């Protein structure tokens, strides 16, 4: 099945620097959810843009054929971790068509806040 696009943009980006609650599930985080519904593995490259410095990347992620991967920006390490409490944007590029959705869970206060949107398909 061919479904999706090769390039996607998430213009919003901000990982809250604090959390309440315990465990990974309740840690403040941002996620790029990637679906690869095709028959071929996807080699995905993520580039981060900032307000006051050059872009950082690419971060490389493999999403196997007929699989989804929910990538936490918090977990990206190479070439550099994603700074907290910092505005950024991201561009996601793949060699096979994928679909991308952006989600944030904010647990800085005791109760959760969520946001989500389908990313912008760049081509």
**Identity of the residue, 43 or 116, whose beta carbon is nearer to a second copy in the bound complex:** 116
Q: How far is the CB of 105 from a second copy (least distance, A)?
A: 8
**Identity of the residue, 74 or 101, whose beta carbon is nearer to a second copy in the bound complex:** 101
Q: Assign residue 67 a region (left: φ > 0; alpha: ψ between -120 and 50; beta: otherwise).
A: beta
Residues counted in the chain? 123
Q: How far is the CB of 92 from a second copy (least distance, A)?
A: 11
Q: Assign residue 116 a region (left: φ > 0; alpha: ψ between -120 and 50; beta: otherwise).
A: beta
Positions touching a second copy (CB under 8 A) are: 1, 3-4, 7, 9-14, 21, 25-26, 31, 33-35, 37, 49-52, 54-55, 66-70, 85, 87-89, 91, 99-106, 108-122
Residue with tokens 């410095």: 53
**Identity of the residue, 60 or 68, whose beta carbon is nearer to a second copy in the bound complex:** 68
In sequence order, what are the beta bridge partners of 114? 105
Read off the DSSP letter of residue 75: G
Q: How far is the CB of 119 from a second copy (least distance, A)?
A: 7
Helix, strand or coil, per DSSP, at residue 42: strand
Phi/psi for 31 (5° steps) reads: -130, 140
Q: How far is the CB of 47 from a second copy (least distance, A)?
A: 8
């Amino acid at each position: 099945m061919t479904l999706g696009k090769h390039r996607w943009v998430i213009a919003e980006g901000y990982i809250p620097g604090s959390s309440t609650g315990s465990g990974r599930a309740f840690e403040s985080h941002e996620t790029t959810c990637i679906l690869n519904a095709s028959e071929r593995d996807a080699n995905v490259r993520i580039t981060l843009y900032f307000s006051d410095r050059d872009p950082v990347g690419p971060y490389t992620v493999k999403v196997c054929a007929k699989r989804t991967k929910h990538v936490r920006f918090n977990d990206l390490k190479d070439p550099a971790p994603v700074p907290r409490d910092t505005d950024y944007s991201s561009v996601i590029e793949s060699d096979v068509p994928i679909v991308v959705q952006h989600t944030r869970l904010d647990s800085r206060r005791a109760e959760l806040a969520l946001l989500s949107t389908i990313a912008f398909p760049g081509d």
